[in-house]
């Protein structure tokens, strides 16, 4: 299988390593220094593209791939205000698009545990809940897309929280999401349910980028075998 990697930072290089370890071939690498190489002619040489760039460039990268007829796996976050436009374009072009806020298999299992725990906690109003995420200082968006997905899972499960907010809050109807930037941490997400008498806590800690990169490559391998449409980690799992 022939791959394009769009965005060649630390994640892009890890994706490259995993693709080759699984017998794939990277035939196109696009980064900020050679954006002009992302032409229809070059894109049509690949079977699938994996995109981990920046919030400012993600949308245009996705559009170029879909218009070129190339299946696209996107891992960039903080651009989702334009997701509906991407979905419409994907349908219009009869394309294939895969998006997840986090490609780690472990994180996606964590999403399901978190959502189920929120449902279990619905009757127990003595427990308040908060979310905390810790990432490396190079991460541009806050909170992380993963933290937002976690918060949305909690909001779906308990009616006493109406929305999430960045940072601490004294409003009982709001879910506080703390975003901490520290050193080289790949990513730690913690959900804490606290009452006057005890604390319940679930946490996912990434040890490296390898789990995220592997999930993105597996998603790409999955996507090329599917009919046209829009896919997520729920489909893959």
Catalytic residue positions?
135, 139
Pairing mode of beta strands 163-166, 174-181: parallel
Half-sphere exposure of 229 (CA within 13 A, CB side): 8
Please work out, in degrees rounded to the nearest 5, the angle formed at the alpha carbon of residue 97 by the alpha carbons of 91 and 100.
130
Structure tokens at 172: 């009982």
Only one residue has tokens 């908060």, namely: 130
Query: How far is the C-alpha of 110 from the C-alpha of 204, rounded, in Å?
Result: 7
Contact 103, 212 (CB under 8 A): yes
Q: List, in sequence order, every residue forming a beta bridge with 181; answer none if it has no partner.
A: 135
Q: Which residues of 66-101 are buried (b: 16+ CB within 10 A; e: fewer)?
A: bebebbbbbbbbbbbeeeeebeebbeebebbbbbbb
- For the chain, what is the largest distance between any 2 Cα atoms, rounded to a whole number of angstroms? 63
Q: Which helix (H) or strand (E) holds 11?
A: helix 10-21
**First vs last C-alpha separation in the chain:** 21
């Amino acid at each position: 299988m022939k791959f394009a990697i769009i965005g060649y930072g630390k994640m892009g290089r890890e994706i490259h390593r995993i693709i080759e370890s699984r017998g794939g071939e990277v035939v196109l690498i696009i980064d900020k220094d050679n954006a002009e190489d992302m032409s229809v002619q070059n894109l049509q040489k690949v079977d699938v593209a994996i995109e981990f760039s920046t919030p400012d460039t993600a949308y245009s990268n996705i559009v170029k791939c879909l218009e070129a007829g190339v299946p696209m796996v996107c891992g960039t976050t903080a651009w989702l205000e334009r997701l509906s436009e991407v979905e419409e374009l994907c349908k219009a072009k009869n394309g294939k698009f895969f998006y997840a806020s986090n490609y780690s298999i472990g994180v996606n299992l964590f999403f399901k545990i978190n959502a189920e725990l929120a449902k279990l906690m619905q009757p127990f109003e003595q427990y308040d809940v908060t979310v905390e995420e810790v990432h490396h200082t190079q991460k541009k968006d806050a909170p992380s897309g993963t933290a937002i997905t976690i918060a949305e899972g909690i909001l779906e499960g308990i009616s006493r929280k109406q929305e999430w907010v960045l940072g601490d809050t004294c409003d009982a109807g709001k879910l506080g999401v703390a975003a901490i930037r520290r050193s080289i941490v790949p990513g730690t997400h913690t959900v804490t349910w606290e009452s006057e008498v005890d604390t319940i806590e679930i946490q996912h800690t990434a040890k490296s980028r390898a789990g995220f990169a592997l999930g993105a490559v597996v998603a790409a391998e999955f996507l090329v075998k599917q009919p046209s449409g829009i896919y997520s980690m729920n489909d893959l799992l």
